[in-house]
Structures are given as structure tokens and as C-alpha cells.
Amino acid sequence: MLNFPGHRGGPKGNKPSDTFKTVSINRVAESISERFQVQCDAKHVENHLRTVKNQWQIICTIRGESGFGWDDNMKMITCDRATYDATVMAYKKYEPFLNKSIDHYDKIALVVGKDMATGSFARTFADIDLADGNQDLVPIDYDNEETKEIRHHIFTKK
């Protein structure tokens, strides 16, 4: 599902949030049917997409936990032997994703990721180009006395 011409996700607007439009699912099913000369319907695509989403959720959960690193070149969650042993003992479903390159990681991130850039595509606030002229604007001091008084007046007004 991640590797064929029929899959056209984000650029055409077919992934508005974390779901795909029915037309996109149908287009993927048609492409699979044509390319591999098999019968594939939308339910097959939805089931595989659900599997990929579950795998992505596991990957994100592991990456968010303490004791794990990330090798962006290898697309691999890294950890030491003790962490690996303890984690696999507690969560057997994590094992396929630890200290092993994650096949199609970038494609999975594109298809089911939450539109959060990772690796070489990630940017911090400091990386943003302010050439649009906004760099001279003065930030609003949200916690000064005048704004506190205005907020109090607005929220206590009946």
C-alpha cells in the first residue's frame, strides 16, 4: 500500500486530518487490483491501513519513552541490552521495532503520521525564516497588568 502509483495522499488533499477520504481508499484498491491482477476492495485497504496505523502508534509510543534513542540514518529505535530485555519482557509487541531498521519508516510517516516533521525535515522555531517582515513586530505581553484587567472584565461580565 505504501509503494505504488495509485497512492496519492497529502498533496491532493485526500488526507484532511488523520483519516483518508473514501475516494482515496477506493483509488488505492483499484491500483492494487490493476497492478497485481488481484481482487482488492476498500475493506482490504482499510484493514492494512489500520495495521500500519497500529504499528505507527507503537513506534511513536516507544520513541516517546525514556531510555530509547533514534538513529535517523538507519530509521531505527535504539536501546541498550538491559532496556531491550526489560521492554520486550513487558511489551512483546515492541520487539519488532527495537534495534532493527524499520522498513518503509518515511513512507509510513507520510501516510499515517500526524503531520509532524522528523529527522532532516524537522525544524525548530530558530530555523524559521523571518524574511516576511514580521521580525520587527513587538510580541504581546500577555501577563501584564492591563491585559489581566481586560481578561478579568471579559470573563466576569454577565
- In this prediction, residue 5 carries a pLDDT of 45
Rounded to two decimals, what is the model's pTM?
0.61
**Structure confidence at residue 10 as a pLDDT band (50, 70, 90):** very low
Most confident of 63-67, 114-118, 153-157: 63-67
- In this prediction, residue 80 carries a pLDDT of 96
- For the chain, the domain total comes to 1
Asked if residue 5 belongs to a domain, the reply is no
Asked if residue 75 belongs to a domain, the reply is yes
Asked if residue 40 belongs to a domain, the reply is yes
What does the pLDDT look like over 35-47, one tens digit per residue?
999 999 999 999 9
**Structure confidence at residue 84 as a pLDDT band (50, 70, 90):** very high
- In this prediction, residue 130 carries a pLDDT of 47
Asked if residue 144 belongs to a domain, the reply is yes
pLDDT at residue 83 above 90? yes
Asked if residue 73 belongs to a domain, the reply is yes
Asked if residue 2 belongs to a domain, the reply is no
The neighbour count for residue 27, using CB atoms within 10 Å, is 19
Give me the chain's average pLDDT, please. 77
Note down the domain range covering 35.
Answer: 10-156
- In this prediction, residue 105 carries a pLDDT of 94
Asked if residue 3 belongs to a domain, the reply is no
pLDDT at residue 52 above 60? yes
